[in-house]
Chain A
C-alpha cells in the first residue's frame, strides 16, 4: 500500500492541527475501538467558516484527510462546507488506497457534525440543513 506524496505531506505536516477554545461548533466522529477518531472545531463569522482546527487519532490517511478537509473548508461558507464530499477530499489528496476510503468519509462526517453542533448552539434544528447525522460513536467498525 503506497500513499501519494500529497497524503504523506499532509501526514507529515498537517495543516490546522489543534483546538479552538471558543469554537462555535465541535464535531467528533469515529471511535477508539476502530482505531480512528476525528474531532473538528469551527469558528463561524457571518455564515463563513473563519477558522477550523482538528485533532485526529488514527492512521496516516486519517490524519491526512482531516488536514486536507480543514484546508478545503477554511474561509468557505457553511453551505459550501456542507457540500464537501469525501470524494473531493480524496481527489485533493491525489487518491487514497481502497482500504483507506473510510477515512475520507470520516472527514466529511466530522465537518457535518461540527456544523450540526454550530446550528444546535444557535437554537436551530440542524437536521433539515445538515441531514440526519447518525451517531458516529455507535458506528460499527464495519461501517
Chain B
C-alpha cells in the first residue's frame, strides 16, 4: 500500500546525510567533549563548529547558543529561568497567547501556581496576534513576553519582529518558541529584537532529543539543569554530541534550501486547500497566507477527527487531528478553541503537514482519498443528519 507521511509538524524523518555526519560520534568518535585527550578534543571541536553553524543560521553569535534536549526544555528554561531571575526585581507578570504549545502554556501555568501572573493574548479568528493587544497587556511588572513564531497546529505565522520591537521599547524580554518556524521562514534574532528563541532538531530532519535555546548576550536567567560546567556553566550534562552535530547539519541544510522548498510547498499546500475546500461544509483553520508553507488544517462538519485519522491510516496516510479523542483529553484542541471554533466543529479537524519529501502525487492521492472517507463517515453520522435537516 502507498504510504504518505503528512505529519511533519509532529516530527520529520532523519535525513540520510544528517545521519551520515552523526555516525562517527555514535561509533568511533565517542569521546566526552570535556576530556583533554584527542577523541575528547575532536568531540569538543564538533560541538563548537555546530554551535557556530546554529548561530549563523539565526543571526546570533556562538556564545548565545545553548544546546538542550529539545523544544520543551528550551521553553521551560527560557520562561522559568527569566521569571525566577526577575522575581527579585518585582517582575511577576508574563504575557503569552492562548494557543501556545503546551511546553509554554503548562510552564506558564506552573509559574502562576508559584504566584506569578499571566495574561493570555487573544489570537483572533485568523490565528494571528495583534500588536495593539500586546501593548494593552504590558504592565509595569511584566518580565517576559513569550509568543510562538508559528503555530504548530494551524501554522499561522506571528508578526514577531513587530511584537518583539514593542517589548524592546518597553524594556521587556521577548521569547519565541520557533520550533515550527525555524528552517521554514527566515529568522534573524538581531533584526527582529528577539531575546530568547527555542528550537528543536527533529522538526527539520534532524534527530530527536536535541534542541537549542538562543539567549541574547546580556540576558540573565537562572539555570534549570544544575551539574557540570557544560554549555558555559548554564546547562549541565555531557553533550549529546551526535545530536548536536545532527542538529547543526539539518538546520544548515534547511536554511540553504528554504526558498526553494517554500515555493514548492506553498504551491502544493494551496492546491490541497482549494481541493479540500470543495467538500461541503469544510473550512480552513488559520489565515490562508500568513501560514507555514507545509501546513494545512481543515475542519469538516459532522464527523469526528479520530475516525477520520483511522480511516486515512487504513489508506496509508499519516495525519493528525485536534479532536478530543486524539488530544488525550475531553476537550478538542485548545488552538482551535482559541480561534473561536465551537466544540462540535473543532472535533472534526484534520492537520496535514508536509516536508521536502512530499510530492505533488501525494497531494493527488490525498485529494482522491479524503472526500470518500468524509462521505462515508457523514453517512453514518447522526450529527451530519441533523446539520442537513437544519439546513433545509
Q: Given A35-B304, A35-B332, A59-B304, 8 more contacts at CB 8 Å?
A: A3-B310, A28-B382, A35-B343, A35-B347, A56-B382, A57-B304, A57-B382, A59-B325
Q: Is the CB of B323 within 8 A of A56?
A: no
A60 CA / B306 CA spacing, docked (Å): 6
Identify the closest chain A residue to B314 (Cβ).
Answer: A12
Within 8 A of B (CB), among A71-85: none
Shortest distance in angstroms between B320's beta carbon and chain A's nearest beta carbon? 14
Distance between Cα atoms of A62 and B306 in the complex (Å): 10
Which residues on A are within 8 Å of B, measured CB to CB? 3, 8, 11-12, 14, 17-18, 28, 32-39, 54-63, 99-100, 141-142
Contacts of B342 in A (CB 8 A): 33
By secondary structure, the A interface counts as: mixed
CB B100 to nearest CB in A, in angstroms, measures 23
Would you call B304 and A33 a contact (CB within 8 A)?
Answer: no
In the bound complex, CA of A99 to CA of B329 (Å): 9
Shortest distance between the CB of A117 and any CB in chain B (Å): 15
Main SS class of interface, B: helix
- Are B306 and A59 in touch, CB under 8 angstroms? yes
Given the known A-B contacts A35-B304, A35-B332, A99-B328, are A63 and B383 also in contact in the complex, defined by CB atoms under 8 Å? no
Known: A11-B307, A12-B314, A32-B343. A56 touches B325 (CB 8 A): no
Residues of B within 8 A of A99 (CB): 325, 328
User: Which A residues lie within 8 Å of B331 (CB)?
Assistant: 141
B302 on interface, CB distance cutoff 8 Å: yes
A sample of 11 cross-chain residue pairs with beta-carbon separation below 8 angstroms, ordered by A number, consists of A12-B311, A17-B379, A32-B343, A37-B383, A55-B382, A56-B381, A56-B382, A59-B325, A99-B325, A99-B328, A141-B330
Which of B306, B331, B342, B385 gathers most chain A CB within 10 Å? B306
In the complex, what residues of A have CB within 8 A of residue B328's CB?
A: 99
